[in-house]
Amino acid sequence: MHIHQRTFHVTEKSRENTSSKRGSSLLLAVPNAALLLLTVAALVRFMWGKYGWEVFYGSIIIFWLAYNMVSLIYALFFMLGRPAYRRSERFPADEAVSISVGGEQYDLRTVDVSEEGMAVVSDISRYFNESVGLSMTIHNDRYRAKLHGKMIYARRTDQGWRYSFTVEPFSEDDRRQFMQIIYDRGHPLPLQMDMWDTVYDDLLRNVKRRLEKPKRPFGAFSEMPVPRHVVFDDGSVCTKATVGYRTWTVAGLEPQAADGVRLARNLVFTTDSGVSIQLSSSGQIDGDKEVLLVSNLKELAEKGNMSGLLEEVAATVAHRAERSAAVGSTRDERTEEVFA
């Protein structure tokens, strides 16, 4: 058939996904795909019209055809590669890290580390400006490294607030120390095999992960949903809200209009500790949902009122709801006494 390979080809090891590399992988996977189609056709052809003992007597051939099909599917997976969403491997690690930004210092713990980044966890919400670099010091009993850091995203988990940063060592010595922190540890691979986990389970798991699209349901800033009614200082009420350091997304807020023209909205929410959050319209409206901008963010950051602010907002909303329920209960009792 005049099919030949004149040059030695090494499987692509780079983590960068480009269209040319994907096209080359698809071309190299053509022989395996053809053999897979022939195997499926052979399996169908052999099974066609067989029943009962005929299937039993042909079980050896069916087994080897199925085994060959699974092997060819794995060969296709190897040739096609898999999408790499990170340029460096991430390792789970629980290390102490100190983050200095805006004259404040936070002592937190890492969740995982890699050569180009790390993730930390905090029990309360923190504000990290994505446009301002910060200084980080990660250390354990043997190594210590100083790093430049920049936050890329944040999300809330069961363990607390998780913040991910890109990092870069200050110096060559810091880089060497940081590499020791990353790699001088036990490997994260499984230590025990699941005897009930078969090659077909691995195949099914591989197919599912390839079909799933990566999701990142979180943004660059901390956000916390508040399912209760939120009452603002002027008496305006929204049915629910998602509060953040830069924006609030509210739902069910009555629109302000004059002569049929929608007016720009300016609201104030004051927490129980006296922190006033000024909100203004952003122009982003989707049905009953509206995005409000925190207009005094810079002032709040300068005063150092950012740590735990989202939890304080949620607690204030809960306290106001409890007080409103208590007042309503008292009114009902007085009404019953009057009628009695």
Q: pLDDT digit string (tens) for 16-68? A: 555 555 556 677 788 889 999 999 999 999 988 888 888 888 888 999 999 99
Torsion sign over Cα 186, 170, 173, 139: negative
**Residue 263: per-residue pLDDT:** 53
Instruction: Give the fold, CATH level 3, of 91-187+201-211.
Output: Thrombin, subunit H (2.40.10)
Tell me the C-alpha distance between 62 and 186, whole Å. 43
> 282-308, pLDDT tens digit by residue?
888 887 888 888 998 888 887 776 788
C-alpha radius of gyration, the chain, whole number? 30
96 near 107, Cβ under 8 Å? yes
**Residue 5: per-residue pLDDT:** 67
> 118-163, pLDDT tens digit by residue?
999 999 888 887 777 889 999 999 999 999 999 888 888 888 899 9
Residue 102 amino acid letter: G
Residue 196 has pLDDT above 90, yes or no: no
**Residue 304: per-residue pLDDT:** 74
DSSP state, residue 204: H
Phi-psi region of 102 (alpha: psi -120 to 50; beta: other; left: phi over 0): left
Give me the percent of the chain exceeding a pLDDT of 70.
Answer: 82
Longest Cα–Cα distance of the chain, Å, equals 103
Tell me the C-alpha distance between 84 and 37, whole Å. 28
**Residue 39: per-residue pLDDT:** 94
Burial track 222-234 (b if 16+ CB lie within 10 A, e otherwise):
bbbebeeebbbee
Stated pTM of the model: 0.72
Give me the percent of the chain exceeding a pLDDT of 90.
Answer: 26
What are the domain boundaries of the chain? 19-80, 91-187+201-211, 223-339
Residue 120 amino acid letter: V
Percent helix, strand and coil across the chain, each to the nearest 5 = 35, 30, 35
Beta strands in the chain (DSSP E): 91-92, 96-101, 104-113, 117-122, 134-139, 144-157, 160-169, 223-226, 230-231, 237-238, 240-244, 247-251, 257-258, 261-262, 266-270, 276-286, 289-294
Mean pLDDT of 99-105: 83
Chain position carrying tokens 């020791």:
180
Query: Which of 122, 133, 137, 202 is CA-nearest to residue 169?
Result: 137
Tell me the C-alpha distance between 298 and 1, whole Å. 72
Residue 336 has pLDDT above 70, yes or no: no
